[in-house]
Amino acid sequence: MKSLKQLKTKLPETVKLEKNKVYIIDQVLLPDKLKFIELKNYQQAILAIKEFNVRGAQAIGAVGAAGLYLASKKYFKKDKNEFVKYLKKTGKEIIKARPTASNLSWAINYLIDNLDNSSVLNIKKSILKNYQDILKTEVENNLKIGKFGEKLIKKNYKILTHCNAGSLSAIWFGTATAPIYSAWLKNKKPFVLIDETRPWLQGSRLTAWEMKQVGIDYQINIDSAVGYLMSKKLVDIIIVGADRIAKNGDVANKIGTYPLALMAKEHKIPFYVAAVKSTIDFKCLTGDDIKIEERAPEEILKHTSYWENKNLAKKKTKSIDPLLEIAPKGSQAFNPVFDITPAKLISAIITEEGIIEAKKIRNLNN
Amino acid sequence: MKSLKQLKTKLPETVKLEKNKVYIIDQVLLPDKLKFIELKNYQQAILAIKEFNVRGAQAIGAVGAAGLYLASKKYFKKDKNEFVKYLKKTGKEIIKARPTASNLSWAINYLIDNLDNSSVLNIKKSILKNYQDILKTEVENNLKIGKFGEKLIKKNYKILTHCNAGSLSAIWFGTATAPIYSAWLKNKKPFVLIDETRPWLQGSRLTAWEMKQVGIDYQINIDSAVGYLMSKKLVDIIIVGADRIAKNGDVANKIGTYPLALMAKEHKIPFYVAAVKSTIDFKCLTGDDIKIEERAPEEILKHTSYWENKNLAKKKTKSIDPLLEIAPKGSQAFNPVFDITPAKLISAIITEEGIIEAKKIRNLNN
């Protein structure tokens, strides 16, 4: 039996507050370099979300909340009503940074809805407290997901995951990775199969980085190898995260999740989604109501994605031509970022309140 | 109505024989540059297959046959029996160049089984004639596939394909592309959706190149976007090629074909395999008997695939570091090249003899 403390020495927090300063892991530098950057104002928080220094549902929520906290810290006027108005306006600006992540608006609303607006000072104090609450509670939630989800994992299980719903997508511990880390803590020796996750390769870069940090055995495959892996009985269980969950249990997650779930059903392999309640959008009745973000065709058509370019540029590896084309010049590409997995394909959703049938997820609205 | 002649001005032959010299399109230079290379001896034919200057079931078969023809051309001894022995030995050597392509052994066997071994000269003549037969017959076969398959395509249909089972994978006209080209010739304005096809990106590079050459509209997507595309009703029909077909109708094709077929069934989208009879291996009773080639993990783990490296090296773009890692150093990857699509998921197989139910493909053994 290993301890959480041991895990903490290997796996750093993705978003942290130290002496009232906000730090995040710069994910565009991974897996090459682990570096923390300080966010000094809310504009930097927005930029960090937009430029993918941070990504992943919970982490985006936390950085959004950090942004609002930083905005409050830098507010020096005396009118408490003006202050609340300013925070609401700034909150709306932050929410626009990425459309699909439900946790972003949830986190901003949590900070604003729980304000003590009796004075400017108390507004500041309560914003900080609410932000700290989110950091603390979301990690506790993920530990609970780990506790529930770990029971699904037998010794030496081969667990397949898509994209990164790991510690890097959260404040710490992750959602899809929570059962894996909990199983590892109990010496169950999980073996992780990682979809590389085109076009951004979050699997190859981020999930693989986490597993390597912790010392969990893993193997990377192309996304479309999942059929072969399952037909050869090389997968025991699948656990993925979620970017947004509709009231009926349909799940929006990284593109490729839906084919994975359908294949799992064909091969009778359990398919779980791990997510905190803040990922559920009760205003979305079904998956059809979830707007799917589309990104630039260049991420598919050019040799390096925007992310890789940034990464390489930061490393000052000037030897890469960022415009090197894969496809013939002038080609069109279609680049949706998420797809919708219907509730019927999901064995269950692992939440902080327990393992819940997808179609019963509506009952968590309390 | 357009003519085949018009198509020929746009789309060059992949393997050709001119004044008894063998030329192939060098596919590692595509889509950047269209260049023909002459194969001067059988060792160069083997190398062209191994180093992927040529790939695709029919094209590999044709280049294998070209290799045996070149070996015969360069044989100057007098003993006809020794000559036959030499050709058989060389044929075996050529067949080893790539294991999964059924057409390679089929083509070599066709040349040897139809020898006129009455004299050294007649052996030479018959090898050339048999080789010419293959070039001619396989193109005729593909034109027949086009004629039959075109009937499945309505005006403005959106046709999804995986990898490249196009003209570049054949001698000319392709297999999966044959119905597309035939529909284009009839002014049906097909729109082609192309899976990029990791890790080698044959879709983005080769199929897109063919469509651009001919002037057919196309759009590239990542392989795991197929679920989203079908759920949004953006696909009318799917046509893919085959590397090997088992007697029971199971199909080995580029990895990712199986998830595509399963998704098509879920969405009731017709899923066709286009292949010539020489792709059928009647000795393989089911897909389980087909050995799946696994390739180097580096194709997935490193920034550029071997193919891209070669490509870039040939272009003398020295600015790319071929060893740039995507995943953390020391990562493992699993890189199977093909998967098996069960016959039950296939609407039918389009062959030169007509459109045949997958499970009835055994009847072609005559």
Task: Answer whether A323 touches B (CB < 8 Å).
Answer: no
Same domain, A29 and A123: yes
Is residue B297 domain-resident? no
Does residue B123 contact residue B80 with C-beta atoms inside 8 Å?
A: yes
Buried b (16+ CB within 10 A) or exposed e, B289-326: bbebbeeebbbbbbbbbbbbbbbbeeeeeeebeeebbb
Average pLDDT value for residue range B4-25? 96
A300 at interface of B, judged by CB pairs closer than 8 A: yes
Report strand pairing: A158-161 vs A237-240: parallel
Asked if residue B137 and residue B166 are part of one domain, the reply reads no
Assign 3-class secondary structure to chain A. Answer: CCCHHHHHHHCCCCEEEECCEEEEECHHHCCCCCCEEEECCHHHHHHHHHCCCCCCHHHHHHHHHHHHHHHHHCCCCCCHHHHHHHHHHHHHHHHCCCCCCHHHHHHHHHHHHCCCCCCHHHHHHHHHHHHHHHHHHHHHHHHHHHHHHHCCCCCCCEEEECCCCCHHHCCCCCCCCHHHHHHHHCCCCCEEEEECCCCCCHHHHHHHHHHHHHCCCEEEECHHHHHHHHHCCCCCEEEECCCEEECCCCEEEECCHHHHHHHHHHCCCCEEEECCHHHEECCCCCHHHCCCCECCCHHHHECCCHHHHHHHHHCCCCCCCCCCECCCCCCCECCECEEEECHHHCCEEEECCEEECHHHHHHHCC
Distance from CA of A209 to the nearest CA of B (A): 6
**Assigned token pair, B122:** 């007649």
For residue B246, the SS3 value is: strand
What pLDDT, on a 0 to 100 scale, did the predictor assign at position B317? 47
Strand partners, B356: B349
Across the interface, whether the CB atoms of B231 and A196 are under 8 A apart is answered no
- Closest Cβ–Cβ partner in B31, B225, B336 for A228: B336
Do residue A231 and residue B340 have CB atoms under 8 angstroms apart? yes
Flag whether pLDDT at B236 surpasses 60.
Answer: yes
**CATH number, domain with residue B355:** 3.40.50.10470
Examine the fold and report which residue of A79, A114, A144 is the final residue of a domain before the chain moves on: A144
Its pTM stands at 0.94
Chain centroid to CA A173: 11
The Cα–Cα gap between A172 and B93 comes to: 56
- Residues in chain B with CB shorter than 8 Å from the CB of A195 are 224
B256·A328 Cβ contact <8 A: no
Contacts of B317 in chain A (CB under 8 A): 321, 324
A101, A122, A144 - which closes a domain:
A144
Task: Verify that A139 and A175 share a domain, yes or no.
Answer: no
Assigned domain for A187 exists? yes
Mean predicted confidence (pLDDT) in B306-325? 52
Q: Is the domain of B86 the same as that of B157?
A: no
- Asked if A174 and A282 sit in the same domain, the reply is yes
Q: Is A258's CB within 8 Å of B199's CB?
A: no
**Residue B191: CB atoms within 10 Å:** 17
What's at B25, amino acid-wise?
I
Cα distance between the two ends of chain A: 36
- Interface contact B12, partner A, CB < 8 A: no
pLDDT value at position B51?
Answer: 87
Q: What is the CATH number of the domain that holds A112?
A: 1.20.120.420
Tell whether A278 and A159 lie within a shared domain.
yes
A263 vs B: CB within 8 A: yes
Q: Cβ distance B341 to B261 under 8 Å?
A: yes
Whether residue A103 is contained in a domain is answered as yes
Examine the domain organization and report whether B351 and B240 are in the same domain: yes
Q: What is the CA radius of gyration of chain B?
A: 20
> Cα–Cα distance between A37 and A25 in angstroms, integer?
6
**Closest chain A CA to residue B201:** A326
- Tell me the per-residue pLDDT of B182-193, one tens digit each, with 9 for 90 and over: 999 999 999 999
- Listed by number, the residues of chain A in 146-205 with a beta carbon closer than 8 Å to a beta carbon of chain B are 193, 195-196, 198-199, 201, 204-205
pLDDT at B169 over 50: yes
Domain membership of residue B307 (yes or no) is no
Number of structural domains in chain B: 2
Query: Closest residue of B to A199, CA-based?
Result: B222
Q: Are residues B166 and B177 in the same domain?
A: yes
Whether A58 and A37 map to the same domain: the answer is yes
Residue B305 banded pLDDT, cuts 50, 70, 90: very low
For residue A173, being part of any structural domain is answered with yes
The C-alpha of B355 sits at a distance from chain A's nearest C-alpha, in angstroms, of: 26
A188 to chain B, minimum CA–CA distance in Å? Answer: 20
Phi/psi-derived region of residue A155, left when phi > 0, alpha when psi is between -120 and 50, beta in every other case: beta
Q: Calculate the average pLDDT of chain B.
A: 93
Where does a domain end: B144, B167, B189? B144
Domain presence at residue A322: no
Kindly state whether residues B63 and B83 are assigned to the same domain: yes
Of A225, A327, A330, the CB nearest to B336: A225
- Residue A75: C-alpha distances to residues A68, A117, A159, A172 (Å): 11, 14, 47, 29
pLDDT in the model for residue B320? 46
Q: How far is CA B365 from CA B247, B277, B282, B293, in A?
A: 9, 9, 7, 26
What does the pLDDT look like over B15-26, one tens digit per residue?
Answer: 999 999 999 999
- Name the residue of chain A whose CA is nearest to B307's CA: A326
If asked whether residues A110 and A229 sit together in one domain, one would say no
Beta bridge partners of B37: B24
Residue range B208-232: mean pLDDT, rounded: 98
Of A204, A319, A331, the CB nearest to B208: A331
What local confidence, expressed as pLDDT, does residue A186 receive? 97
Q: Is the pLDDT of residue B143 over 70?
A: yes
Are residues A259 and B255, on separate chains, in Cβ contact within 8 Å?
no
pLDDT of residue B308: 54
**Claim to verify: residue B231 and residue B355 sit in the same structural domain:** yes
pLDDT tens-digit profile, chain A (366 residues): 899 999 999 999 999 999 999 999 999 889 988 999 999 999 999 999 998 899 998 999 999 999 999 999 999 999 999 999 999 999 999 999 987 778 899 999 999 999 999 999 999 999 999 999 999 999 999 999 999 999 999 999 999 999 999 999 999 999 999 999 999 999 999 999 999 999 989 999 999 999 999 999 999 999 999 999 999 999 999 999 999 999 999 999 999 999 999 999 999 999 999 999 989 999 999 999 998 989 989 889 886 544 455 555 555 444 445 446 789 999 999 999 999 999 999 999 999 999 999 999 999 986
Is the minimum CB–CB distance between A210 and chain B shorter than 8 Å? Answer: no
For residue B209, list chain A residues with Cβ-Cβ distance below 8 A.
328
Task: Say whether the ipTM exceeds 0.90.
Answer: yes
For the residues of B64-102, what is the DSSP string, one character each? HHHHHHHHHHT---S-HHHHHHHHHHHHHHHHTT-SS-H
- Whole domain around residue A157: which residue ranges? 147-291+336-364
What CA–CA distance (Å, rounded) separates A230 from A190? 17
Contact (CB<8Å) A263/B266: no
Please, are residues A277 and A142 in contact by the beta-carbon 8 Å criterion? no
Q: Are B224 and A335 in contact (CB under 8 A)?
A: no
3-state secondary structure of B325: strand
What mean pLDDT do residues B260-265 have? 98
**Sign of the torsion angle spanned by Cα atoms B238, B239, B244, B245:** positive
Q: State yes or no: pLDDT of B173 exceeds 80.
A: yes
Write the pLDDT tens digit of every residue in B288-301. Answer: 999 898 988 988 98
